[in-house]
Chains A and B, each alone.
Chain A
């Protein structure tokens, strides 16, 4: 077996170096060969991918016992286990052939940008999934947070101001207000689930309806009267639109600030789940609630905290959506929860609780966004996009379940 393993590692290293070399050659050859408009930034991607693989090969050599990845599994098993990922790669290749513009760094960055808020949502909702629950109120919380923050962040000269006499407040006040409002409803979720042992499906369904109603009431307050909120202050819009390192080399579009924001949140959530008492308790409650009670875990407090933390993340997502689009309506976030749940599930989070990793969730969100973005890119009809999305969810979960069932 050990030989097998080192073989895989060699494969990684050598393959990676080959791809890397190809990338470098193409990078310098594309100008003279006139391939600029045919392969766009492909060389850069090749260089990055090659580097990644080569590094993986090197790194795994260092700790040889731990990683039995490919070698011990049969090829067929490898295929089924990574079916969704492979399907995504095939799709990416097909799109690149159909529409070479896809091979641009700005496209990759745009995909990451669009993944960002989805990732924040998914990280929030994974807590509910980890305790074998769900959170249907997530999407509406985004709407609530977007409306509240946007309503206080309009320019003084805008014709249809939500609060006509509101002074130019610090941007942190509306953000805090929006996130706090979400956390309030998160606490309601947690209370219903923890206190009355209500199934999260029902509890969050009730909250979802309440939030939408409350948000619509707020949105309908005169003088706004359900008009879409616009005229957003540029300093607020910057939170979602700012781009870093713009133009460090000619034509570089810059990295959307949303990407580092979601990365930071990702790291924090990873830390919370893996390194804190709270995180361990979440897995324990999801794994066996009764045993958690016996072990002296304060289930009430933990569940409260789960829903409040999740709603905090939804609140952040809502603020970012409002800033990114420089506007808000009470319909923002509608249906986000289903996308987030789907991404989590594709990323290996079990609906029956206790199983799920941050890395998996990141993968799930990226796979989903790439596929959605790619299909849109080659102008596949939205109806077909829906069909494909549904198939992905079903296939991903089916594969996941067979993985666990295989004995």
Chain B
């Protein structure tokens, strides 16, 4: 009991110190679902840089992939007296209580990366979302393939005018997996090419699994019958590349090449693209998302105009940052 009291006292002391520091400076409390995530790392760096530029103070908390932990952190931020919250929810469907808390404290809240349902956002006029449209990553991956197919007639190996492709999917049921799989095919269709899925498999975002699966496809279908490989992320695309290399494809010889696309633009993928092993990837633009989130938060906290921050605000709720295509030689 006494221990608990001591802990509470310590917390109170910390809060009271932090709460009274620099009362006039804008303070942003950012809750990240997990620090140990490559994409969120870039996001965090972008937010930190932008906040420094704007002269705002930003404090970040690591939710350690646990919604309960994150809720406590949000409460602490509110108790500390931050002016605005940036939330990267652990569970996007559990965002309603977060919004309720912010609303009762009267603090604006900007959600990032994981999108709460629209009725949740609608329940509070100062709730916003900054992110990318997941379907867009699929569309752009599909477009990469379609552009290649059009500009390289030899890519149509069986000369039937259709595109025979293999799809490597992420974890079953994952939102990104569903949308990327669906819209990449749509995009090919929209480009006027008929896509034919000759095989697809779930490789759980994993390079190793993707490699084993693609090895099997190379055997069962034969690489000469595959005209493209579409992977839901770069790691799986790289696994596919390794498997194809195992069948002596994608090693530099133009006659033995299958275009492979992924999503994420991670360093290994860029490296593989430099070597000509992989066609392209799609970048989820963490830099611009981070920038936009901090600018929006700063504007909301200081009562500035959200329309003048340099990013378009749709429906007075959303800022959509487009994905970027990355192909060979185009390093960012």
Contacts and interface: CB of A to CB of B under 8 A. Distances in A.
A–B direct touch, CB within 8 Å, in complex?
Answer: yes
B299 interface: no
Interface string A192-227: 000000000000000000000000100010000111
Interface string B231-243: 0001100110010
A377 B208 contact: no
Interface string A85-123: 000000000000001011010110010001000000000
B56 to A, nearest CB: 24
B271 A158 contact: yes
Given A101-B220, A327-B238, A379-B199, A230 B272 contact: yes
Given A158-B271, A228-B207, A329-B235, A377 B38 contact: no
Interface residues of B, number: 36
Nearest to A107: B219
A231 B268 contact: yes
Contacts of A159: 267, 270-271, 331
Contact of B211 (A102, A158, A325): A325
Contacts of A160: 266-268
B220 A226 contact: no
B61 interface: no
- Determine chain B's interface SS by DSSP, over half rule: helix
Interface in A351-407: 373, 376-379, 382
A337 interface: no
B80 interface: no
A241 interface: yes
A382 B202 contact: yes
A216 B207 contact: no
B255 to A, nearest CB: 16
A229 B221 CA distance: 30
B36 interface: yes
Contacts of A104: 219
Nearest to A379: B199
Given A159-B270, A379-B199, A226 B38 contact: yes
A225 B41 contact: yes
B329 to A, nearest CB: 13
Given A228-B266, A231-B271, A377 B242 contact: no
Contacts of B202: 382
Interface size class of A (residues with CB under 8 A): 35 or more
A307 interface: no
A332 interface: yes
A102 B220 CA distance: 7
A326 interface: yes
A246 to B, nearest CB: 9
Contacts of B239: 325
Which of B172, B239, B271 gathers the greatest number of chain A CB atoms within 10 Å?
B271
Interface string B189-227: 000000000010110001110011101100111100000
Contacts of B206: 331
Contact of A226 (B37, B212, B270): B37
9 contacts: A101-B221, A106-B219, A107-B219, A227-B267, A230-B266, A231-B268, A325-B211, A379-B201, A382-B202
Interface of B: 36-38, 41, 172, 199, 201-202, 206-208, 211-213, 215-216, 219-222, 234-235, 238-239, 242, 245-247, 266-272, 331
Given A228-B207, A228-B238, A377-B216, 15 more contacts: A114-B212, A159-B270, A160-B268, A227-B267, A228-B266, A230-B266, A230-B272, A241-B245, A324-B211, A326-B242, A327-B235, A327-B242, A329-B207, A376-B216, A382-B202
Closest 7 CB pairs of A and B: A230-B268, A160-B267, A227-B38, A377-B220, A376-B216, A225-B41, A231-B271
